[in-house]
Structure 1
Amino acid sequence: MSLRATPTLLQLAMQSLLRDEALAISALQDLPMELLPPLSKDAITHKRLNILRKMVQVWPFPCLPLGGLMKMKTPYLDILQTVLDGVDALLDQNTHPRNYKLQVLDLRALHKDFWTVWAGDTTTSCAPGVKCRRKIQKRGPKIEAKQNSLKVFIDLYLKPRALDTCLSYVFLWARERKALLQLGCKKLKINTVAIQNIVKILEMLDLDYVEEVEVCCTWKLSTLAIFAPYLGQMKNLLSIILSHIHVPASITPEEEKQLVSQFTSQFSNLQYLQDLSLDSIDFLKGQMDQLFRCLEVPLEILSITDSKISESDLQSLSQRPGIRQLKHLNLSGVILTDISPEPLRVLLERVAATLKTLDLENCMIMDSQLDVLLPALSQCAQLIMFNYLRNPISVSILERLLHHTSGLNYLSLEMYSTPWEIYGAQGASYHKRLEQLREELSKAMQHLEHNRTVWFSVAPCLP
Structure 2
Amino acid sequence: SQQTFLQDSFLSTLKMSIQTPPTLLELAAKRLLRDQALAITALEYLPAELFPYLFVPAYHGGHHYQLLKTLAQAWPFTVLPLGVLMHLPPDHAPTRAVGLKAVFDALDVLLAQEVRPRRCKLRVLDLRNTGANFWDMWLGVSMENCSPKGPVTVHSSSPKMKHPLAPLEVFLDLDFNERNRDEFFMHIIQWAQQREGLLHLCCKALRISGVPFQRVRRVLDRVQLDCIQEVDVNCTWDLPTLGTFALYLGQMSNLQRLCLPHIKLLAEEQEQEKQQSFSQFLSQMLRLRHLQELHMHSPSFLRDHLDQMLRCLQTPLDLLCLTYCERLTHSDLTHLFQCPNLRQLKILHLCGLSLGDFSLEPLRALLEAVAPTLQGLGLDKCGMADSQVEAILPALSRCHQLRDFTISMNNFPGATVEKLLRHTTGLHSLEFELYPIPLECYGTQGTVNQERLALIQAELTGTLRELGQPRTIHLATKHFRHRKFYKDMEPVMCPCSDPA
TM-score (norm 1): 0.81
- Distance apart, 1:50 and its partner CA: 0.9
The Cα shift of 1:397 comes to 5.3
1:366 matched to 2:385? The reply is: yes
Specify the alignment match of 2:465 in structure 1: 445
State the partner residue of 2:411: 392
Quote the Cα distance in structure 1 between the aligned partners of 2:332 and 2:128: 39
Q: What does residue range 62-461 of structure 1 map to in structure 2 within 5 Å?
A: 62-71=78-87, 73-76=92-95, 77-93=97-113, 96-115=116-135, 117=137, 131=150, 142-143=160-161, 146-159=164-177, 162-163=180-181, 166-307=184-325, 308-394=327-413, 400-411=419-430, 412-419=432-439, 439=459, 442-445=462-465, 447-453=467-473, 455=475, 457=477
CA deviation after TM superposition for structure 1 residue 142, in Å = 4.0
Contact 1:38 1:116 in 2 (8 A): no
Counterpart for residue 72 of structure 2:
56
Q: 1:12 to 1:457 in 2, by over 3 A?
A: closer
Compared CA separation, residues 23 and 396, structure 1 to 2 (3 A): closer
Change in 2 beyond 3 A, CA 1:422/1:281: closer
Residues 116 and 217 (structure 1), Cα distance of their counterparts in 2 relative to 1, 3 Å cut: closer
What is the Cα deviation at residue 351 of structure 1? Answer: 1.6
- 1:48-102 Cα offsets, whole Å, 9 max, x none, are 2112112212222221111233337413211111111111112224574355432
How far did 1:301 drift?
Answer: 1.9
| Contact kept? 1:380, 1:408, Cα under 8 Å | yes
Q: Is the 8 A contact 1:242 1:278 kept in 2?
A: yes
Partners in 1 of 2:316 and 2:162 — Cα distance? Answer: 23
Q: Deviations over 1:404-435 (max 9, x none)?
A: 444544445240242369879xxxxxx99x95
Letter in 2 for 1:391: N
CA contact (8 A) 2:166 2:197 kept: no
Distance 1:149 1:251, change over 3 A: farther
Q: Partner of 2:192: helix, strand, or coil?
A: helix
Distance between the aligned counterparts of 1:338 and 1:5, measured in 2? 65
- Structure 2 Cα separation of the partners of residues 113 and 376 of structure 1: 41
Q: CA deviation at 1:377?
A: 2.9
CA distance in 2, matches of 1:261, 1:218: 19
- Paired with 2:385 and 2:193, the residues of 1 have a C-alpha distance of 58
Q: In the superposition, relative to structure 1, how do residues 7 and 443 fare at CA in structure 2: closer, same or farther (>3 Å)?
A: closer
Contact 2:418 2:463 in 1 (8 A): no
- The whole-number CA distance in structure 1 between the counterparts of 2:132 and 2:163 is 26
- Partner SS state of residue 331, structure 1: strand
**Distance (whole Å) between structure 1 residues aligned to residue 130 and residue 408 of structure 2:** 37
Paired residues of 2:307 and 2:335 also in contact (CA < 8 A): yes
Contact 1:182 1:205 in 2 (8 A): no
Matched to 2:278, the amino acid is V
After superposition, the Cα gap between the structure-2 partners of 1:27 and 1:399, relative to the gap in structure 1 and judged at 3 Å, is closer
User: Which amino acid is 2:65 matched to?
Assistant: L
Q: Deviations over 1:289-315 (max 9, x none)?
A: 222222232322211110222233233
Pairwise CA distance, 1:208 = 3.3
Could you tell me which runs of 5 or more consecutive residues in structure 2 were left unpaired when the two chains were aligned: 1-12, 140-147, 153-157, 445-450, 481-500
* Residue identity (%): 40
> Which residue number corresponds to residue 137 of structure 1?
none
CA distance in 1, matches of 2:181, 2:239: 25
Aligned residue type for 2:93: T
CA separation of 1:144 and 1:420: change in aligned 2, threshold 3 A: same
Aligned to 1:303, the other structure's residue is in SS state strand
The whole-number CA distance in structure 2 between the counterparts of 1:445 and 1:331 is 31
Structure 2 Cα separation of the partners of residues 12 and 417 of structure 1: 58
Counterpart contact for 2:134–2:151, Cα < 8 Å: no
Structure 2 residue identity aligned to 1:365: M
Amino acid paired to 2:78: P
Secondary structure in structure 2 of the residue aligned to 1:289: helix
Higher RCO, 1 vs 2 (CA within 8 Å, ≥6 residues apart): 1
Counterpart of 2:351 in 1: which secondary structure? coil
**What is the distance in 2 between the residues matched to 1:65 and 1:436?**
52
* Superposition TM-score, scaled by structure 2 size: 0.76
Name which of structure 1's ranges 368-377 and 397-406 shifts more when overlaid on structure 2. Answer: 397-406
CA drift at 1:172: 4.0
> Aligned pair in 2 of structure 1 residues 38, 142: CA closer, same or farther (>3 Å)?
farther
CA RMSD of aligned residues (A): 3.7
Q: In structure 2, the residue corresponding to 1:43 is in which secondary structure?
A: helix
Specify whether residues 203 and 73 from structure 1 end up closer, same or farther in structure 2 by C-alpha distance, changes over 3 A only.
farther
Closer, same or farther: CA 146–391 of 1 in aligned 2, 3 Å: same
Shifted more, 449-458 versus 192-201: the winner is 449-458
Distance 1:363 1:91, change over 3 A: same
